[in-house]
Amino acid sequence: MAKVKVVGILSHYVGGRGEIEVEGGRSIGEILEGLGIPPALVGIVLLNGKQVEKSHRIEEGDEVKLIPLLGGGKL
């Protein structure tokens, strides 16, 4: 499994959960689709602390952080 940390308003799309476990072997875009998080609202994706594109594939044991871009307001 891989850990996905969902920050601020993005957590509204996953029932208010801040952290979710997902299966690896898929792209971040596919994971977002599965979780129902609109990709355009995810500003920065950190994979193990480094930014990646949404086409990037994650593996078992990875840690992903999804940060929204708001341009002001609550995360």
Partner 1 sequence: MNGYGGKILRVNLTTGQISKEPTPPHVAEKFLGGRGFGIYFLYTEVPKGANPLGPENKLIISSGPLSGTLTPGAGKMDFTTKSPLTGGYASASVGGHLTAELKYAGYDSIIVEGVSPKPVYLYINNDEVELRDASDLWGKGSITVETELKKRLGEEFQIATIGPAGENLVKYACITHDFGRQAGRGGVGTVMGAKKLKAIAVHGTKDIPIADPPALLRLGTEAYKACKASEAFEAWVRYGTAGVTVWSNEVGAFPVRNFQAGALEDYSGLSGETMRQRIVITDKGCFGCPSPCGKYSHSKKYNIYVEGPEYETTALIGGDCALVDIEDVAYANWLCDELGIDSISAGNVIAFAIECFEKGILTKEDTGGLELRWGDPEVVFALLEKIARREGIGDLLAEGVKYLSKKLGENTEAFAIHVKGMEMSGYECHNAPAMLLSYMTCDVGAHHNRSWAITYDLQVGRDLVTPDKVDRVIYLQHVRPLFDCLGACRLQWVELSIDLGLYPPILKAITGIDRSWEDLMKISERVWNLTRMYWVREIEGFGREWDYPPARFYKEPVTYGPTKGKLMNWEDIQRLLDMYYEKRGWDKNGIPTPGKLEELGLTEIVGAGA
Which spans of this chain sit near partner 1 (rule: CB under 8 A)? 7-8, 38-44, 46, 49-54, 65, 67, 69-75
Q: How far is the CB of 24 from partner 1 (least distance, A)?
A: 20
Provide the 8-state DSSP code for 16: T
Q: Of the candidates 71, 10, 5, which has an alpha carbon nearest to the alpha carbon of residue 39? A: 10
Q: How far is the CB of 12 from partner 1 (least distance, A)?
A: 11
| Angle at alpha carbon of residue 50, lines to 7 and 14, rounded to 5° | 25
Which of 35, 52 has the CB closer to partner 1? 52
**Can you say how many angstroms the Cα of residue 61 is from the centroid of all Cα atoms in its chain?**
15
Q: How far is the CB of 21 from partner 1 (least distance, A)?
A: 19
